[in-house]
Amino acid sequence: MAAKKGRQGITQWPETERPRERLLSQGPQVLTDAQLLAILLRVGRHGSSAVQVGMDILGCLGGVAGLAQCGIEELCAIPGVGKAKAAQLKAALELGKRALAGPLIKGAKITSSRDLFTHYHPTLRDLRHEVFKVVLLDAKHAIMRDATVSEGSLTLSIVHPREVFTLAVKESAAAVIFLHNHPSGDPTPSQEDRVLTARLVSAGEVLGIRVLDHLVVGDGRYVSFADQGWLTTPGADV
């Protein structure tokens, strides 16, 4: 029976078993991941319902986490998923990430490293590449804005103090907070992270811009250089 339903269009199912109707009557929490995807997909492919396509997506990519990490090309390689459907799924996932992210409001003050983690974790945790960001703060340590400094493998050749502080100087920031993600999910700082942070702290001292923290974001956890007392590293070569 289940196999037969998988081959049928959802419109041929009993109304009480259709994902959209079940969501409207019982709420989204009663639906499986594949059924939620079916609502976003709207239609399946020839010989397979939208729910079956949803199951195929989850099976090919390793569940919802894999879906969040995959690229458009990977999605389009799955039968029944073209560019339009891939865009719909990615848009829905991005909205979910933004909804989970705590607000980073201009003029607000960051009271703890947890505040930053809460804001950035939803958008950074599923990335397959490293992203290095800077949060600019005024003289009262209130948020001015944030910016992405670089994307790709985080090495000293890619992230240089001169590039990192260009925006801070331009915006007349009095202090900065740095953060980047570890795609592996393990936020333990590497030796390169430590060396880079020391260089950034030293460069900030020369420019009169204080480095308040450097967060490394992993999957569900993070490491704060400030919390660990690692921001004062004498003898760093800028």
CB 40 within 8 A of CB 60: no
CB 93 within 8 A of CB 68: yes
Distance separating alpha carbons of residues 217 and 132, to the nearest angstrom: 10
Question: Where is average pLDDT lowest: 20-34, 105-119, 129-143, 150-164?
Answer: 150-164
Residues 143-197 pLDDT 10s: 999 999 998 864 444 788 888 899 999 999 999 999 999 999 999 999 999 999 9
Residues 69-115 pLDDT 10s: 899 999 999 999 999 999 999 999 999 988 888 778 899 999 999 99
Of the candidates 45, 46, 38, the residue with the CA atom closest to the CA atom of residue 18: 38
List the domains of the chain with CATH numbers. 2-100 (1.10.150), 113-228 (3.40.140.10)
